Amino acid sequence: MTKDIIIEIENLSKKFKIGKNAGDLRHSFSNMFSFSREKPIEIWALKDISFKVEQGEVFGIIGPNGSGKSTILKILSKITYPTSGKAILKGRVSSLLEVGTGFHPELTGRENVYLNGSILGMKRSEIKRKFDEIVDFSGVERFIDTPVKHYSSGMYVRLAFSVAAHLDPEILLVDEVLSVGDMAFRQKSIGKMHEVANSGRTVLFVSHNLNAVKSLCKKGIYLESGGIKALGDIKKVIENYENSVLNYENLDATNTKIVNEIIETKEIVIIESQGNKSSLICSGDNINIAMNLLSKIELKDIRIRLEFKDKKNNVLFVCNNFLTGKTINLNKGENILICKISKLPLNTGIYYIDLIMVKNRQTIYSGYNIIKFEVTSGNFYKTGNLPSETRQFLIEHSWKIK
Amino acid sequence: MITVIENKKGLNLKQRIHELNEYRELLWTLAYRDFRVKYTQTILGILWAVIEPLFTAVLLSFVFNKVAKANTFGINPVLFGLTGMIAWNYFANVVGQGTGSLILAQNMIKKIYFPKIILPASKAIAALPDLLIALVFTLIFYFIYRDHVGFNLIYLPVFLLLTIVSAMSLGIWFSALNIRYRDFRHIVPFVIRIGLFVTPIAYTTMDVPEQFRWIFYLNPMTGIIEGIRWSLFGLQMDCNYFFISIAVIIMLFITGFLFFNKMEKNIADII
């Protein structure tokens, strides 16, 4: 039996422009009058994507950072427009791209439910009808007439999610919202997704969490650099993804996946405390991660992120120049960039690093497993003692009796 | 319900209006939010809606009537100033708030689809209670000081409506420009500050030399405020000049809608 096609995507492409068009009048005027106008560099966030989703399906979209997963959802929810191609959606669409959008801290829970509901496209009468159910589901009945600025962050998120979960869409777009709230609530949320799917409606689920995707979806796609790498049965798609990206045995520099050609990494190495290149580090060492980046254009104010991961692809921590407040501008040509980490807090084991660069919120470089390194037992606590290998992190601490 | 998403050029007016009608509740909700938030945790609350224009009117009437000796045609100078000030105050608020409305709501814009024109437009509604309260106060003042009330008074709502339309249109214009060129964040407050003096709030355009008068009427609020004076006090109004202001308002309204529509597609990408 064939079911109705509810989402049909045909040759969908999306182009972004990156470069010298900063948003002020000075640039516009100088662009208008100068003849040597420098063309902005174009990036295809999506290129010729086509797939179909049947009614009642929970359809998974997986793939690494910057592969275009979120761009698909943004196009389907009409937030951004495609450059070419089209998407046909049969039914009311709502997205859970972010819960709590439009919540105002000064307003009460009750007012925010109405506000958020109508922002999400519900009619007032509809919110009224579902109000009790929404409040029940959130579990914040007692504080519903308190301004939400007095809520704990958990309560806030629960109320916000509850509104979003009570939309009645025929097509639901979900982007990793299952990680919000506490465990009990997450169970509720997954339950809600099942409920939506079981009632014959369609869910598009974008996630990094392969286990969640496996348990919720039957079909899906694996995206990479804006194109479809695998399509169909979710088990095969996930297998394909794992083989391609998470293939640790054959890991080398060629595994780098680059989103575009603006930046090239000439060399990335770890320099240990003695000043030598090494991929064998003692825990507790001061290390420098040195990157030689070759940029085709001058790039102002870019965000560079190093994600440290364990063997199972769990991100353990990140180093990000945005977090430390350091502005990084890259010159045209070679740039040497160094990220210094004092007292590496990792226990013995194998680790990987992803390198991601973002300009104007657009990923311009995404390198997966660009470095593999091993940590061996070092003298972290200056006692020679270390916890067992199952404890991944080492934290500097001291004890005192008073 | 079938939605087709593709990169279409041009404007489907019927579809746009239908969509705006679909989202009208959001317009009210956003306006309600702005209004609520404006007066939470204030002691005087909505009284501020009267205090602000009243004090500015007193100040302006002092400057223009006592110092510069502008003619108010025997009308109490404070009442005279207040009638212009309530309309100007509303206009300045809506245009100022409207300009930043898209940037302030960028979280919403990047996560949810809705007709974005609602954001600057809702500012015109959020400021309405303030306008009405200031208006009631002014009318009380008016009925106390005025022994003779003319028939023209029934036209007052027309001029208030024109105030709303012109404020909303300019708010829409500037909000769209501000997305592309953040310079407007600095330009708009500056223009509003100058507007306070080049708009005939505490004087009439009769004091302006004839050959420059048309320039004043390019400011939509000039025609509106002179119109308000005409309806309240029966002051003479030159229709030829008045129609310059009306033409400007209509033009701003239409071009604002079209320009916003052109920008709207890319707002989420460039904000």
A86:B5 CB<8 A: yes
User: Which of B5, B108, B109 has the CB atom closest to A82's CB atom?
Assistant: B5
Q: How many residues does chain B have?
A: 271
Q: Does B36 touch chain A (CB under 8 A)?
A: yes
How do residues A168-179 score in pLDDT, each as one tens digit?
Answer: 788 888 876 445
**Strand A333-341 vs strand A287-295: parallel, antiparallel, or unpaired?**
antiparallel
A60 in Cβ contact with A207 (< 8 Å): yes
A79:B114 CB<8 A: no
CA–CA gap between residue A1 and residue B226 (Å, rounded):
73
pLDDT bin (cut points 50, 70, 90) of residue A36 is very low
**CA A287 to centroid of chain Cα atoms:** 27
CA–CA gap between residue A294 and residue A336 (Å, rounded):
9
B33:A104 CB<8 A: yes
Please name which of B116, B100, B255 lies closest in space to residue B183, comparing C-alpha atoms.
B100
Q: Does B125 touch chain A (CB under 8 A)?
A: no
User: Which of B7, B41, B183 has the CB atom closest to A81's CB atom?
Assistant: B7
| ipTM tops 0.85 | no
Please name which of B111, B157, B154 lies closest in space to residue B268, comparing C-alpha atoms.
B111
Please name which of B250, B27, B53 lies closest in space to residue A115, comparing C-alpha atoms.
B27
Please name which of A207, A223, A173, A219 lies closest in space to residue A49, comparing C-alpha atoms.
A223
CA distances from A108 to A99, B27, B28, B56, B104 (A): 17, 19, 17, 34, 20
Q: Tell me what the mean pLDDT of segment A78-96 comes to.
A: 88
**Strand A280-282 vs strand A287-295: parallel, antiparallel, or unpaired?**
unpaired
User: Which of B2, B25, B41 has the CB atom closest to A88's CB atom?
Assistant: B2
Please name which of A53, A57, A73, A56 lies closest in space to residue A5, comparing C-alpha atoms.
A53
CA–CA gap between residue A46 and residue A86 (Å, rounded):
12
CA–CA gap between residue B229 and residue B231 (Å, rounded):
5
Question: Which runs of E-coded beta strand occur in A76-233?
Answer: 84-90, 93-96, 171-175, 202-206, 219-224, 227-233
Q: Does B240 touch chain A (CB under 8 A)?
A: no
Higher per-residue pLDDT: A19 or B68: B68
Residues 6+ apart with CB under 8 A from B119: B30, B98, B101, B102, B105, B175
Q: Which helix (H) or strand (E) holds A44?
A: strand A41-54
Closest chain B residue to A5, measured at CA: B2
Q: Which residue has the tokens 């995507």?
A: A9
Please name which of B201, B199, B125, B194 lies closest in space to residue B164, comparing C-alpha atoms.
B125
pLDDT at site A40: 67
Phi-psi bin for B10: left (phi > 0), alpha (psi -120 to 50), beta?
left
State the alpha helices, DSSP H only, in chain B: 13-22, 24-39, 48-61, 77-104, 106-111, 118-126, 128-145, 156-180, 184-198, 213-217, 220-233, 239-264, 267-270
For chain B, give every domain's residue range. Answer: 13-270
pLDDT bin (cut points 50, 70, 90) of residue A279 is confident
pLDDT bin (cut points 50, 70, 90) of residue A254 is very low
pLDDT at site A253: 42
Q: Which of residues 96-125 of A touch B (CB under 8 A)?
A: 97-98, 101-102, 104, 106-107, 111, 114-115, 118-121, 123-124
B7:A82 CB<8 A: yes
Backbone angles phi, psi at A55, to 5 degrees: -60, 140
- Min Cα distance A33 → chain B (Å) is 17
Closest chain A residue to B30, measured at CA: A115
pLDDT at site B160: 96
Highest mean pLDDT among A67-71, A124-128, A160-164, B109-113: A124-128
How do residues B21-71 score in pLDDT, each as one tens digit?
Answer: 989 999 999 999 999 888 887 888 888 888 988 998 889 888 888 888 888
User: Which of B33, B265, B269 has the CB atom closest to A115's CB atom?
Assistant: B33
Question: Which residues in chain A have their CB less than 8 angstroms from residue B2's CB?
Answer: 88-90
CA distances from A154 to A184, A193, A303 (A): 12, 20, 29
CA distances from A29 to A21, A25, B38 (A): 11, 6, 38
